[in-house]
């Protein structure tokens, strides 16, 4: 699987070697080439991409800074394991910030709200389409875009900036929450899409308290339960 994944990365000419390796490793981690906690053999990666190990280690250092990879003494580089605390910390931050974004959105002029409600509804339609087409990659993109529209609609740049600081870990957790089996992915996708529709309906009804309650269920219950289901062994 790793060998097949290298083809597109060996063709790039404009990227620096370090940037090329960074994108290759990040895409591999996100797509499950390397599982959580699995070792990344920097020598093997260098050989497959036809570059020196220094460029690979520079890319791995960036991933360590992004809290995606960890370097273990005498054991090399590993995809960072996820703990129960990691999950809850990210969920708590997202609930707080997205609740704030919803409240600020609902205080905007009606024209502004309707513009973004329409965009969110279109995103939900795309989610349904990608579920029916079993297009998992496209589904994951639009699934998070629903939340990005919420940040954008609030017109509070700090919300998106703060969430952007742990975007990679959020995406990784979301991928884990969807499961690897097609039937698990489809079930999780249906639930997430249904949650989004109910959340949008509450916002369109200008019902902030209901929207916040639904957000807590969506992130604090459904999201966490799916992660626990698909990654049952979490460190404390």
**pLDDT single digits (tens) 118-175:** 999 999 999 999 999 999 888 988 998 999 999 999 999 999 888 887 778 887 887 7
Per CATH, the architecture of 2-79 is what?
A: Orthogonal Bundle (1.10)
Q: What is the mean pLDDT of residues 206-212?
A: 97
* CATH fold of the domain at 84-230: 1.20.120
Lowest mean pLDDT among 56-70, 74-88, 126-140, 185-199: 74-88
Lowest mean pLDDT, pick from 45-49, 124-128, 164-168, 212-216: 164-168
Residue 117 in tokens: 């409600």
84 pLDDT tier (thresholds 50, 70, 90): confident
Q: Which two tokens stand for residue 32?
A: 């499950």
Please give the structure tokens belonging to residue 147: 């939340």
Does residue 215 or residue 11 have the better pLDDT? 215
Query: What confidence score (pLDDT) does residue 179 get?
Result: 75
Residue 14 pLDDT grade (very low, low, confident, very high; cuts 50, 70, 90): low
Give pTM, 2 decimals. Answer: 0.79
Question: Pick the residue with more confidence: 58 or 169?
Answer: 58
Query: What are the CA-CA distances from residue 116 to residues 102, 105, 143, 206 (Å)?
Result: 11, 9, 15, 13
Stated as kind and residue range, the H or E segment containing 210 is helix 208-215
What pLDDT, on the 0 to 100 scale, is given for residue 234? 55
Q: Tell me the domain boundaries of the chain.
A: 2-79, 84-230
Q: 122-146 burial by CB neighbour count: b if 16+ within 10 A, else e?
A: ebbebbbebbeeeebeebbebbebb
What pLDDT does residue 7 have? 47
Q: Which pLDDT value is given to residue 64?
A: 92
Buried b (16+ CB within 10 A) or exposed e, 51-86: beeebbbbbbebbeebebbeeeeeeebbbbebeeeb
């Amino acid at each position: 699987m790793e060998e097949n994944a290298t083809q597109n990365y060996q063709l790039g000419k404009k990227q620096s070697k370090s940037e090329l390796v960074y994108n290759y490793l990040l895409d591999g981690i996100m797509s499950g080439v390397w599982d959580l906690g699995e070792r990344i053999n920097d020598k093997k990666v260098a050989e497959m991409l036809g570059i020196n190990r220094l460029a690979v280690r520079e890319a791995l250092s960036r991933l360590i800074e992004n809290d995606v990879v960890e370097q273990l003494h005498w054991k090399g580089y590993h995809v960072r394991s996820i703990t129960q605390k990691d999950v809850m910390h990210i969920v708590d931050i997202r609930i707080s910030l997205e609740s704030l974004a919803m409240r600020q959105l609902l205080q905007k002029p009606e024209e502004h709200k309707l513009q973004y409600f329409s965009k969110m509804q279109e995103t939900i339609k795309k989610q349904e389409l990608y579920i029916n087409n079993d297009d998992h990659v496209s589904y994951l993109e639009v699934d998070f875009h629903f939340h990005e529209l919420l940040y954008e609609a609030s017109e509070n740049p700090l919300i998106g900036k703060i969430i952007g600081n742990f975007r990679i870990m959020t995406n990784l957790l979301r991928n884990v929450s969807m499961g690897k089996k097609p039937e698990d992915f489809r079930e999780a996708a249906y639930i997430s899409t249904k949650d989004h529709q109910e959340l949008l309906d509450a916002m369109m009804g200008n019902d902030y308290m209901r929207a916040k309650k639904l957000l807590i269920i969506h992130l604090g219950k459904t999201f966490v339960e799916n992660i626990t289901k698909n990654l049952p062994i979490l460190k404390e």
